[in-house]
Amino acid sequence: MKILIKNGQVIDPANNIDGICDILVEGAKISRVAKNIKADADNVIEARGKIVMPGIVDMHVHLREPGREDKETIATGTKAALKGGVTSLLAMPNTAPAMDCPENIRLLKNIIQRSGQANVFIAGAITKGRLGKELTDIASLKKEGVVAISDDGASVENAELMRQALLKAKDEGVLVISHCEDKSLSNSGVVNLGIISTRLGLRGMPAEAEYKRVERDIRLAEETKSRLHIAHVSTKESVQLIAAAKKKGINITAEVTPHHFSLVEEAVLGFDANMKMNPPLRSKSDTEALKECLKSGIIDAIASDHAPHTENEKEIEFQRAEFGTIGLETELAASITELVKTGLLGWIDLVKKLCLNPARILGIDKGTLDAGCGADIIIVSPDKEWIVTKEQFVSKSKNSAFLGKQLSGIVEYTICAGKIVYTNSL
Cα separation, 404 vs 426, in Å, equals 18
Phi, psi angles (nearest 5°) of residue 382: -75, -25
End-to-end CA distance of the chain: 26
Q: What percent of the chain is helix, strand and coil (3-state, nearest 5)?
A: 35, 25, 40
DSSP 236-262: HHHHHHHHHHHHHT--EEEEE-HHHHH
The CA distances from residue 268 to 24, 209, 333, 337, in Å, are: 47, 20, 22, 21
Question: For 335-367, what is each residue's pLDDT tens digit?
Answer: 999 999 999 999 999 999 999 999 999 999 999
DSSP string, 57-92: EEEEE---TTT-TTT--HHHHHHHHHHTTEEEEEE-
d(CA 320, CA 313): 8
Helix then strand count (H, E) for the chain reads 14, 18
Confidence of residue 426 (pLDDT cuts 50, 70, 90): low
425 band by pLDDT with thresholds 50, 70 and 90: confident
Of the candidates 352, 285, 402, 328, which has an alpha carbon nearest to the alpha carbon of residue 88? 328
Q: What is the mean pLDDT of the chain?
A: 97
Q: Could you tell me the pLDDT band of residue 282, with boundaries at 50, 70 and 90?
A: very high
Residues involved in catalysis? 305
State mean pLDDT over 165-179.
Answer: 98
Q: What is the CA radius of gyration of the chain?
A: 21
The pLDDT tens digits of the residues spanning 202-259 come to 999 999 999 999 999 999 999 999 999 999 999 999 999 999 999 999 999 999 999 9
